[in-house]
Amino acid sequence: MKASLNNGPHSVHSSVMLALSHYNSSSSPLLPRSSNGSGGKVEARVAVEGLSQQGNLTLLQPTTSGVIVVILSMTLGIISNIVALFILANAYSQQRRRNKATFLLFASSLVFTDFIGHVIPGALVLRLYLSGGVHPDDFNSSDGMCQFLGGSMVFFGLCPLFMGCAMAAERCLGVTKPLLHSSLVTKTRAKICLSAIWLAALFVALLPCFQLGSYAYQDPGTWCFIKVLSDTQEVDVAFVVLFSGLGMASLALALVCNTISGLTLVLARLRRKPGSHHSAKSHDIEMVVQLVGIMVTSCICWSPLLIFGLMSAIRSYTGSIAEDLSSYKTLMVMAVRLATWNQILDPWVYILLRRTVLRKIYLIAKCQAGRRGTIIGRWEPTSFPSSEKHQVNQV
C-alpha cells in the first residue's frame, strides 16, 4: 500500500476504494461476521484516516486555533457578565424608583441568563474541541450530549430575545402610559413574566424529545443544532420555522416598542419648558438607550443564524442544497460564532450605556474640546488689540 500511495491521487483513491470494498466484502453473508457488528466499519474508517494522513485525502478536524478562540471567548464572556451582574446588583439595591427597579430586575435576569448560556454550551463545545470532534460520518447523528447541547443552543438563544422584547414592551408602557404602568407592573408580575419566558423557551427546546424535530452534530463536529443541512424532514422544517419565527418576531416587536418609546421621549423633550424638572425623563431616556443597544446587538448577532438556519432547512428539505452545501456549512459556522458574541456584548451594552458613564464621556470630550479652543484662542487676531491696549495703559 505504501508503494501505491506514492503514485499520486489516483492510487490514493484506489486504496480508499480497496479499503471500502474490503469492508463491504467482510459484511457479505458468504463470509463470517465479526463479533462486533461495527468492527468492519471501524476498520474502514481507520484505513481512510490512515490514508488521509499519508496521501492527499483530507478530513475536517478541529484546529488548535479553534480551541484558543473558544477559551478566550469563554473567559471574556465570563468576566463581562460577572462585572455587569455586580453593577446591576449594586444599582438594584440602591434603587427606590419602582419602574427603574423593574427594569433592573429584567436586566439582571438577562445578564444572568447570558452568563449561564455562555458557560454551559461553551464548556461542551470546548470538550468536543479537545476530544477532536465527532467524525464527519456522524454529523447527522445525535447522542445524549448532542441533544443537551442542541437544546441549550435553542433555550439560551430564545431567552435573551424574549427578555429583550419583554423589556421593550415594559418600557413602552411606562413611557406612553405611566399611570397604567404603575398599576399593572409590579415586581411579582415581573418575576411571573420572567418565569413564563424561561418555561416557553424550555418548551421549545424540548420539542425534539417528543419527536417534533431533531438535533444533530454540525460541521466541523464541535457543536449541535437543529438538523438543517441534510436528511431534513418535515418536522425539522417546522421546528426551524418555529425557532426562527419566534426569534424574528421578538426582534420585530422590540423594534416597534423601542421606536414608540424613543419618539415619545423626543416629543416630550421638545415640548418641555425651560427650567422644568426632568429627572424622571432622564431615567427613561437612559433605559430606552440601553434597550436600543440590546436590540441592535441582538439583531446583528442572531439574525444571521435565524435566517441562514431557515434557508438551509428549506433548501435541504426540497433537495436543492447539494450544489451549495459547503457554502451553507460555512455560513452556519459563521452565524453561530456571531450568535455567541451576543452573550459577550449584552453586558457591555449596560456597562457602557449607563448615565454615569455617558456623563463622564461627555465631560471628558467637552474638556478636550475646551482645551483645543483655548489653545486656538491664544492665537486669534482679536486677542492682539487687547494686548496692545494693555501695554499702552502701562506706559
pLDDT digits (tens, 9 = 90+) for 351-383: 888 777 877 887 888 888 777 655 545 444 444
Assess contact for 71 and 130: CB atoms under 8 A.
no
Span of 126-140, 148-162, 175-189, 250-264 with lowest mean pLDDT? 126-140
371 vs 211, residue with greater confidence: 211
Q: What's the mean pLDDT in 239-262?
A: 93
Which residues have a Cβ under 8 Å from the Cβ of 132 and sit 6 or more positions away?
A: 61, 62
Q: Which of the four pLDDT bands, split at 50, 70 and 90, describes residue 158?
A: very high
Mean pLDDT, the chain, rounded, equals: 76
Query: Which pLDDT belongs to residue 138?
Result: 66
Rounded-to-integer distance, Cα 248 and Cα 303, Å:
7
- 229: which DSSP letter? S
The residue type at 4: S
Phi, psi values for residue 183, rounded to 5°: -90, -25
Q: Which three cell numbers stand for residue 154?
A: 435553542
Mean pLDDT score, 382-388: 44
Who has greater pLDDT, 25 or 249?
249
Q: Is the pLDDT of residue 20 over 50?
A: no
Burial (CB count within 10 angstroms: exposed 0-12, middle 13-18, buried 19+), residue 303: middle
Do you know the residue count of the chain?
A: 395
Mean pLDDT, rounded, for 332-349: 88
The pLDDT assigned to 17 comes to 41
Q: In this predicted model, which residue has the larger pLDDT, 68 or 94?
A: 68
Please tell me the predicted confidence (pLDDT) of residue 254: 93
**Whether 214 contacts 283, CB under 8 Å:** no
| The three grid cell numbers given for residue 282, joined into one nine-digit string | 432622564
Q: Fill in the DSSP letter of residue 28.
A: S
* Of the candidates 178, 200, 199, the residue with the CA atom closest to the CA atom of residue 102: 178
pLDDT at 281: 63
Amino acid 44: pLDDT? 40
pLDDT at 30 over 50: no
Give the pLDDT band of residue 195 (cuts 50, 70, 90): very high
List b or e across 264-294, with b for residues whose CB sees 16 or more CB atoms inside 10 angstroms.
ebeeeeeeeeeeeeeeeeebbbbbbbbbbbb
- Exposure b/e, 7-38, CB count within 10 A at least 16 = b: eeeebbeebbeebeeebeebeeeeeeeeeeee
The reported pLDDT for the residue numbered 372 is 67
Q: What is the C-alpha to C-alpha distance for residues 232 and 277, in angstroms, rounded to an integer?
A: 60
pLDDT at 62: 53
The mean pLDDT of 128-141, rounded to a whole number, is 74
Most confident of the following: 43-52, 61-70, 308-317, 356-365: 308-317
What radius of gyration, in Å, describes the C-alpha atoms of the chain? 30
- The reported pLDDT for the residue numbered 94 is 72
Whether the per-residue pLDDT at 279 is higher than 90: the answer is no
Q: How far apart are CA 78 and CA 115, in angstroms?
A: 6
Q: Quote the pLDDT of residue 349.
A: 86
3 confidence band (pLDDT: 50, 70, 90):
very low
Query: The domain at 64-272+279-371 falls in which architecture?
Result: Up-down Bundle (1.20)
Average pLDDT score over residue span 178-191: 88
